Amino acid sequence: MVKEFKEFAMRGNVVDPAVAVVIGGAFGKIVSSMVDDIITPAILTPALKAAHLTNLAELVIPGTAIKYGNFLSQVISFIIVAIALFLIVKAINVTKKKEEAAPPAPPAPSKEEILLTEIRDLLAKK
């Protein structure tokens, strides 16, 4: 049973998604920090000062529990993640296009063509 589990866990189709999930989680934390700690304060600081607030989470519709400040933060986070993924996919596609643009090597001549070339060369010498 342990051997079967090891074979299952070490297959490429299981390991690759696991690595992607771990990297995606780490990337998500980086993006969240960038949005929460850098971009949101930089963009919304004037709006927060105008509303006499210090925290984005304090942005609520008066008289309700609707926190649109948190929603704005999540929208900004989503947009940044989407842009980052777009740039990554675009870079990968550019790399693939460069690989495809390389002309394929001409096929090797067949045995018949080689023999005919040798015959032609011999006849040319006479």
What fold characterizes domain 2-125?
1.10.1200
Q: For helices 2-9 and 12-34, give the axis angle rounded to 10 degrees.
A: 60
Domain ranges of the chain: 2-125
- Per-residue pLDDT tens digits for 44-70: 777 778 777 776 667 778 888 787 877
Distance, in Å, from the CA atom of 81 to the CA atom of 87, rounded to the nearest integer, reads 10
53 vs 23, higher pLDDT: 23
pLDDT of residue 102: 66
DSSP 8-state code for residue 54: S
Distance, in Å, from the CA atom of 35 to the CA atom of 29, rounded to the nearest integer, reads 10
3-state secondary structure (DSSP) of residue 37: helix
pLDDT of residue 46: 79
pTM as predicted:
0.49
